[in-house]
Amino acid sequence: MPSDRDEMPARPTISEVAAEAGVGRATAARTLGGYGYVSPEMRERVLAAADKLGYRANALARSMSTGVSHTLGVILADIGNPFFAGVMRGISDTSRARGFDTIVLSTYEDLDEEIAAVNVLIDKRVDGVIVASTAVGPGEVAHIRAAVDRGVPVVLVDRAVASLDLDAVVIDNRDAAREAVETLIAAGHRRIGFVWGPPAAQVPATRRELLAEASRNLWTDGERLRGYLDALDDARIPFDPDLVMVGRKTEERVTQEVARMLALPDRMTALFCTETEAVTGALRALRAAGLAYPHDVALIGFDDSAWAAVMDPPLTMIEQPVHRLGAKAAEVLLDTIGGAEPRREMHTLRSRLVMRSSVAPPAS
């Protein structure tokens, strides 16, 4: 939870008032910010506690009382993805603690819906927008520029967009992927599959063409692909287009593609999955082929979950700091709304490889 920035440390914070009043921090923030619903009884308790402690509104609280709507707008690619749900929780917790409500729209990766969502949020007079944008090129960002031009601060989350010079809160996708693939290489693997790559119709024959294709698509996916290639390069393992899945990203296609990779003459012995659905799709393919992890195929996936931990054997997974990702995006946005100059930089948070039991040396 972000700390209050009082001009004088001796002054009590909203948290201290909340503790004194025996109420939640959000309730205290609402009361002291003069914003939103607080029951009369709660309000009285908060005001009594504030009085007792000698609380005086700090700079942020003052800026809050001059804001228009005390609402942040959030545009996510898909709330159905537990990753985005976790990010949203981080945004929501941080916003609440500072007395802001959040409203969410989901685009399901449709740019037209994202454009409409930005317009809805401007229409609803939000004070700022956090967006996990589906835009990939300079020709697709006019709606975001338009919001910024109208004075609505925008922070990108999860996905940087090359043509947008805005604050972006992301994870170290490239390093995370490289570390995962290095872990597989260190266990002795050289035939390592990658699901999934960019949505090309077929896998480009060369590394260079594949990267060019990736750079025309989602930044996150491209970074994970770059990390995979980095690790292969470092170990002098040649790129093999047969071991990369491209095209539509569905669990069904992953199952088909992994089945195809398993049937190659020079058999794949390890698999790196860049999404949850890539993991479950791969597990289906293994079962259908009568193969078991880690014995027949070693496996590392994105993103960690309660399910991954209870699988038998439990899965080695990359854990993203989902809550922190959202919290940080909200902090950057709220600081900007509070009057700070946007730093327009990439804020990169570290992910973590959670070692469990889905990696073993290749069966000989």
* Contact between residue 74 and residue 128 where contact means Cβ atoms under 8 Å apart: no
**Minimum distance from CB of 320 to its own copies (Å)?**
14
Q: 90 or 204, CB closer to its own copies?
A: 90
State the nearest-atom distance from the C-beta of 30 to its own copies, in Å.
Answer: 8
Applying CB under 8 A, does 36 fall inside the site for its own copies? yes
CB of 137 to its own copies, least distance (A): 16
Q: φ, ψ for residue 353 (rounded to 5)?
A: -90, 115
* Helices marked H in 216-356: 219-234, 251-262, 276-288, 306-310, 322-337
Task: In whole angstroms, give the CA distance from residue 34 to residue 149.
Answer: 29
Which residues in 195-254 contact its own copies (CB under 8 A)?
A: 251
Compute the distance between CA of residue 96 and CA of residue 47 in angstroms, rounded to an integer. 19
Min CB(79)–its own copies separation in Å: 5
* 81 and 39 Cβ atoms separated by less than 8 Å: no
123 is an interface residue for its own copies by CB under 8 A: yes
Spatial separation of the C-alpha atoms in residues 168 and 349, rounded to whole Å: 11
Given the rule CB under 8 A, which of 52-60, 106-114, 164-172, 259-267 is the region that contacts its own copies? 106-114
> In whole angstroms, how close is the CB of 200 to its own copies at the nearest point?
23
Contact 53, 12 (CB under 8 A): yes
Site stretch for its own copies (CB under 8 A), options 108-116, 174-182, 331-339, 349-357: 108-116
State yes or no: residue 85 binds its own copies (CB under 8 A).
yes
Q: Residue 154, SS3?
A: strand
Q: What angle do CA 325, 326, 330 make, to 5 degrees?
A: 120
Q: Does 119 bind its own copies (CB under 8 A)?
A: yes
Least distance from C-beta 295 to its own copies, angstroms? Answer: 13
SS3 324: helix
Binding mask 259-278 for its own copies (x = CB under 8 A): -----------------xx-
Q: Which whole-number Å values give the CA distances from 252 to 147, 233, 247, 274, 308, in the listed order?
A: 38, 30, 12, 15, 19
Stretch that binds its own copies, among 2-10, 86-94, 192-200, 264-272 (CB under 8 A): 86-94
**Is residue 140 a contact residue for its own copies (CB under 8 A)?**
no
Candidate ranges 21-29, 43-51, 192-200, 258-266; the one touching its own copies (CB under 8 A): 21-29
CB 210 within 8 A of CB 153: no
- Positions of E strands within 107-174: 128-131, 154-157, 168-171
By CB under 8 A, residue 283 contacts its own copies: yes
Interface contacts to its own copies, rule CB under 8 A:
24, 26-27, 30, 36-37, 39, 42, 69, 71, 79-82, 85-86, 88-89, 92, 96, 101-106, 108, 112-113, 115-117, 119-120, 123-124, 143, 251, 276-277, 280, 283-284, 287, 305-307, 309-312
